[in-house]
Structure 1
Amino acid sequence: MSTSITPEKLAELDNLLDRQQVLDCLVRFSRGMDRFDRELFLSAFHADATIAAGPFVGGPADLYDWASELHGQGQSATHHNLLNHTCDIEGDVAHTETYYLFVGRNRDDSNWIAGGRYLDRLERRDGRWRIALRTNAIEWSGTAPTMPIPYAEVPDIHLNGTPARGKDDPSYRRPLTNQRKTHIPD
């Protein structure tokens, strides 16, 4: 079995690395919005990017301000889930289609869900992939019945951290550790 890397394999590896960097960029957008992390959110966009999302058309900083106010006033939690993803790369330009499922826990305890696709043009500038143009194809929306959040009554449920919309969320903790005692329910 040969272990030599052919030029074709190198090109394929380069393409896979680019695709992963593109996907990482899209995840930074979603996580930045859900955690209200402005710096992370903005790192997904070139400063001169244009975004068309619902009634909003403008740049990334204005989008963050508008969306964080909308989500902050209307919802106590949001999840911008990324699903099916296609990515066509030609040189320093990538065109992607990424299906999404948005879920928001509204402040009145109802749940709003919506689905659609992010259609993005990303550009690699100075070696970094970022969104240069985004349009949002919203394809459906609705509400889901409300139920209590599971296990809220467990006394030590938040010892490992309480979900938060900011850098005090446990996902930012390094190293991540467990503070809860071993317990196997009956």
Structure 2
Amino acid sequence: MNNKVTDDLNDQLRALLDKESIRELVQAYCNAADRHDHEKMRSLYHEDAIDDHGAFFHGAAMDFIDKLPDIQATMRILHHNVTTHNIKLDGHKAEGEVYVLAFHQAEGGQGLFDVLIGGRYLDKYEKRDGVWKFSHRAVLADWVNIQEQTVVKLEHPFIAGSNIGRPGLDDPSYRFFEMFRRGKR
């Protein structure tokens, strides 16, 4: 194999590995948000990163993470699902547009209500010291479906005896997994 082919193949492999690392970063974000794992969330952003969650928060990502316990206090269920993920690489920097479906069950003045958001994450990533992290994340909503009274029925007989997911350390995944640990990527 000549050097040109080898160099091209190495470049393609590097791009593939970088994109996979970025995809894993985005998926780790969803897990950290859903499990209320603020230590893990902090590990996903560079120290000088910016986070723009619209009305909830705009500023330094570390300050956003400091506010997460208050933001998430009324949320009984968080369930983030990423779908289409477009990534453009430029050396040690990258940009990504990530489609997300995020379900929230929250407690309000009238009881539990549901919010289903179809939106996108507009991300900028940087690879520093060999690790990809968020340098800037903006969240936008393309559509929202709000149910003023929850339609979630976790006490329905159909699922009686099932393992039920929850935010925090009580989630069954922490008893099941040995390799996935709270606070770790």
TM-score normalized by structure 1?
A: 0.80
| 2:71 maps to 1:66 | no
Indicate how the Cα distance of structure 1 residues 155 and 141 shifts in structure 2: closer, same or farther if over 3 A, else same: closer
Alignment of 1:85-100 (within 5 A): 85-100=85-100
CA contact (8 A) 1:94 1:121 kept: yes
Question: Which has the larger Rg?
Answer: 1
Shift of residue 153, structure 1, vs aligned partner: 6.1
Mapped to 2, the partners of 1:17 and 1:152 lie a distance apart of 45
Residue of structure 1 in register with 2:34 after alignment: 34
CA contact (8 A) 2:76 2:166 kept: no
Residue of structure 2 in register with 1:165 after alignment: 167
Residue of structure 1 in register with 2:47 after alignment: 47
TM-score normalized by structure 2?
A: 0.81
Secondary structure of the residue aligned to 1:21 is helix
Task: Identify the range of structure 1 (163-172 vs 39-48) with the bigger mean alpha-carbon deviation.
Answer: 163-172
Gaps of 5+ in 2: 180-185
Secondary structure of the residue aligned to 2:22 is helix
2:51 maps to a residue whose letter is I
The percentage of counterpart residues that share the same residue type is 27
Q: How many residues align?
A: 169
CA contact (8 A) 1:121 1:134 kept: yes
Relative contact order, CA 8 A, sep 6+: which one is greater? 2
1:69 maps to a residue whose letter is D
Gaps of 5+ in 1: 177-186
Residue of structure 1 in register with 2:124 after alignment: 121
Residue of structure 2 in register with 1:143 after alignment: 146
CA contact (8 A) 1:30 1:41 kept: no
Give the RMSD, CA atoms, in angstroms: 2.3
2:39 maps to a residue whose letter is E
Query: Could you report, residue by residue, the CA deviation over 1:103-162 in whole angstroms, capped at 9, with x for unpaired residues?
Result: 11123232111121111110000000000011122222121461423755655323xxx4
Indicate how the Cα distance of structure 1 residues 140 and 50 shifts in structure 2: closer, same or farther if over 3 A, else same: same
